Every structure is written in structure tokens, then in C-alpha cells.
Amino acid sequence: MERPVLLIVDDESDIKALYKSIVNRHFDFDIIEADSIEAVTTVLKNSLPDFVLLDLCLKDGYGFDVIPALKKVNPKVKILVITAFNHCKEKQRATELGAVGLLAKPFEKDTFVEHLQMMLNAK
């Protein structure tokens, strides 16, 4: 059985490395990375992510802008939005666009793992 694919989208390489390290200790994913909306578009030509960790503030736009493309290639994709903006409007927009949740930065490792588990269990 193939391992599920997790796409990590963040423009900070140290943050991506941290996420990858935690994910690899607690879960069994094939991990791919992107650092921009343009990079996500390129990734989607060759990969079909099952799960996505999506930062909102990217160097070439707003993370919300890429959700429709993610949903188009895989309507069942589970997206967890991760952002320093923890306002009601971001949570509402994430939900409206089909994300399974929003995790506010900064966060504890255990909270991150709990949100990943929630994403895995989302229907």
C-alpha cells in the first residue's frame, strides 16, 4: 500500500524542516515541499497530495489562493492552514474553502501533532 503524500507549503526553509522532522517522528508520509504558490502549481503537475500543511503568507501571494487548485486535483485533499494570523475571518475563510482546520503560530509540538492527527481523521 502506498504511503499518503503530505505537501508542506511554507516559504521559510527552517519552518519546513521543523514540520518535516516532527511529521517523520510521528507519522508515515511521503513528504513533498513547496515554498510558493508557483511551486505548488508545479508540484501539482506531478504529484497528488492527500494532505497539505499550508502557510498563509507566501512570497508570491496568500495561501488561501492555492486551495482551489489543490481541491481541483484532489477533491478529497485534507488541508491544515498554519498561520500567525489567528482571527475569526481567517478561520471562517479556511472553513469556507474546505480546510479541515487552522493552527495558529506559535504552537507547541504536541498541539501540532494533535492537529495533524485531526487532519488524518477528517472525513
Residue 9 is classified by DSSP as E
* Domain boundary assignment for the chain: 5-121
Residue 46 is classified by DSSP as T
Instruction: Name the grid cell of 65.
Output: 489562493
pLDDT, residue 1, reads 66
pLDDT tier for residue 105 given thresholds of 50, 70 and 90 = confident
Domain at 5-121: CATH code:
3.40.50.2300
pLDDT, residue 38, reads 97
**pLDDT tens, 53-63?**
999 999 999 99
As a whole number, the mean pLDDT across the chain is 93
pLDDT tier for residue 47 given thresholds of 50, 70 and 90 = very high
Q: Which are the contacts of 97, defined by CB distance < 8 A and separation ≥ 6?
A: 64, 67, 68, 71, 79
- Mean pLDDT over 2-15 rounds to 96
